[in-house]
């Protein structure tokens, strides 16, 4: 059980992660088309995007653990590892400790882990019936979007069709999912 006060804070984390996701997407497009300073803004927004996801992942773990202990442990481990990996590397970029090219592989791995987390928590929530079915399915779709964008970037960079399609699915899917989840949490589901 999660207290209603804590769920309210997690709801705000979900809302803020959705906002940061949208900002990351917009500044990413501007970075790849215009250049600086949008790369730095994108990196900074990415740090907050991932950091605000962490309390969401932990809260979902608390809700899903009674339903499926081992899969929920795997999901939160994948999620928090991917989120932490991406946040740290993006922060290092912001502070110019590393160069963009040095982080690509690890950030892609982090993004893939976030995709696995989203898909797993969506599936567990669907099976357990602890969240609205549409919300659970949307989590699965958003997770697949993350996995597609990672695969597309790996195969051909930011211009690859899989990257572009996966980015749209991930950004729209995750943003709507996070806002909807925030609303569900603000109504007290999960306590």
Mean pLDDT for 138-151 is 97
Beta strands in 11-108 (DSSP E): none
- Write the pLDDT tens digit of every residue in 64-122: 999 999 999 999 999 999 999 999 999 999 998 988 788 888 889 999 999 999 999 99
Nearest CA-CA partner of 84 in 60, 107, 118: 107
- Write the pLDDT tens digit of every residue in 28-43: 889 888 988 898 999 9
Indicate if the pLDDT at residue 57 is higher than 80.
yes
C-alpha–C-alpha distance, residues 165 and 52, integer Å: 24
Distance from first CA to last CA of the chain, Å, rounded?
A: 5
The whole-number pLDDT of residue 191 equals 47
Indicate if the pLDDT at residue 190 is higher than 60.
no
């Amino acid at each position: 059980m999660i207290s209603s006060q804590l769920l309210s804070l997690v709801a705000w984390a979900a809302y803020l992660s959705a906002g940061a996701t949208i900002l990351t997407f917009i500044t990413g497009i501007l970075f790849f088309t215009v250049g600086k300073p949008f790369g730095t803004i994108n990196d900074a927004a990415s740090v907050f995007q991932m950091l605000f996801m962490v309390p969401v992942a932990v809260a979902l773990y608390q809700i899903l653990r009674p339903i499926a202990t081992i899969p929920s442990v795997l999901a939160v481990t994948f999620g928090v590892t991917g989120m932490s990996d991406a946040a740290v590397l993006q922060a290092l970029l912001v502070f110019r400790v590393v160069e963009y090219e040095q982080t690509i592989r690890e950030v892609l791995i982090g993004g893939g882990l976030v995709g696995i987390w989203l898909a797993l928590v969506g599936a567990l929530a669907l099976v357990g019936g602890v969240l609205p079915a549409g919300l659970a399915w949307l989590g699965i779709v958003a997770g697949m979007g993350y996995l597609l964008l990672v695969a597309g970037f790996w195969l051909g960079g930011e211009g690859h069709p899989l990257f572009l399609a996966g980015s749209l699915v991930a950004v729209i899917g995750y943003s709507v999912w996070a806002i909807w989840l925030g609303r569900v949490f603000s109504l007290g589901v999960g306590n």
